[in-house]
Structure 1
């Protein structure tokens, strides 16, 4: 299974929803990068995604997007292949 990296903050309900879906799909290890604890990481997140909001989710080297994007990919049946096959 591919590595999952997620930019998050402590009080983000969308981060919690995204983590719950990933765990439901068998992801046991999510690398969380807390932008509320390390403001420099927010700048890095914005530079690499072009977005300001959390969560921002990466599966392997692929930027999935936010919580709604993750759920949309899952609804199309694309999440499990991405978890297995992302580069």
Structure 2
């Protein structure tokens, strides 16, 4: 499986180093995991398309994981993001 190139960082709106309020995930468990991913040095990209909310991207190795806007289980979605963060925190 070939991964797409990470999106251009200039297209990601920033406000004082954090995501803009409208870019926050509606599920608290998922939003907390996204904040932990950002703190670990990964990039969180809002790119809504259908049920997809966006991506968590590891820029050095170009790996990415999808984040869903309507996950079946927000807790499981948060754990998936935390696992991706743990595996790629050494890259960032």
| TM-based fold match above 0.5 | no
User: With structure 1 as the length reference, what TM-score do the two structures score?
Assistant: 0.41
User: With structure 2 as the length reference, what TM-score do the two structures score?
Assistant: 0.39
Higher relative contact order (CA 8 A, sep 6+): 1
- Flag the structure with higher helix content: 1
- Flag the structure with higher strand content: 2
